[in-house]
Amino acid sequence: DAGVIQSPRHEVTEMGQEVTLRCKPISGHDYLFWYRQTMMRGLELLIYFNNNVPIDDSGMPEDRFSAKMPNASFSTLKIQPSEPRDSAVYFCASSPGTDEQFFGPGTRLTVL
């Protein structure tokens, strides 16, 4: 299996632009998680899905952030409009429903 796939690996954009991050989970995994990693706040859980349904989005920082999972093999995290303080590494992870999660390589976002 190819593991969790994220794209792009790096994204540089200007403040106010829309940013879309993409994730393909491991086939057969029912759970998908989006995390944000910064030096100041460490690793934060933003939202997670079970069978394509958002279960807990309490970690989403504000309305500028939205996440979707239209099918079992694809999810997006969108920021609109983006701000410099959104600069971070965003990770996607998937799980078969056990207590282990499998992480993607991350997307490094820089908002100028």
Residues of this chain that bind other proteins (CB under 8 A): 4, 31, 42-43, 45, 48, 50, 55-56, 91, 93, 95, 97-106
Tokens of 28: 């057969």
d(CA 61, CA 18): 16
Identity of the residue, 71 or 98, whose beta carbon is nearer to other proteins in the bound complex: 98
Identity of the residue, 64 or 108, whose beta carbon is nearer to other proteins in the bound complex: 108
Is there a contact between 107 and 89 (Cβ–Cβ < 8 Å)? yes
Supply the minimum distance, in Å, between the C-beta of residue 90 and other proteins.
11
Supply the minimum distance, in Å, between the C-beta of residue 100 and other proteins.
6
* DSSP type of residue 30: -
d(CA 18, CA 7): 15
